[in-house]
Structure 1
């Protein structure tokens, strides 16, 4: 079965990252902070799923 939560997190991260690259946003902006939060959530989810 597809992991919809994982797909949603990855999709949001990908779109935010593209927007940051396009706009040239610096570190510390809300978008970049959200990407860091998504990275943490992805790592936690993958760790929970692995064991």
Structure 2
């Protein structure tokens, strides 16, 4: 079964990362901070899914 939550997070991360690269945004911008938050959410979700196995 497809994990839509994980796919949504990864899609948003890719989109934000592309925007940051095109604009050359520094690390302290809201977009870059959102990427860090998404990374943490992805890691937590994968750990939860692995523990449920």
Q: Which band: TM-score by shorter chain?
A: over 0.9
Per the normalisation by structure 2, the TM-score is: 0.95
Alignment of 1:22-33 (within 5 A): 22-33=22-33
Aligned-residue CA RMSD (Å):
0.3
SS of residue in 1 equivalent to 2:2: coil
Unaligned runs of 5+ in 1: none
Deviating runs (4+, > 2 A) in structure 1? Answer: none
Aligned mates of 1:31, 1:4 — CA distance in 2:
22
Q: Which has the larger radius of gyration?
A: 2
Q: Unaligned stretches of 5+ in structure 2?
A: none
How many equivalent pairs are there? Answer: 51
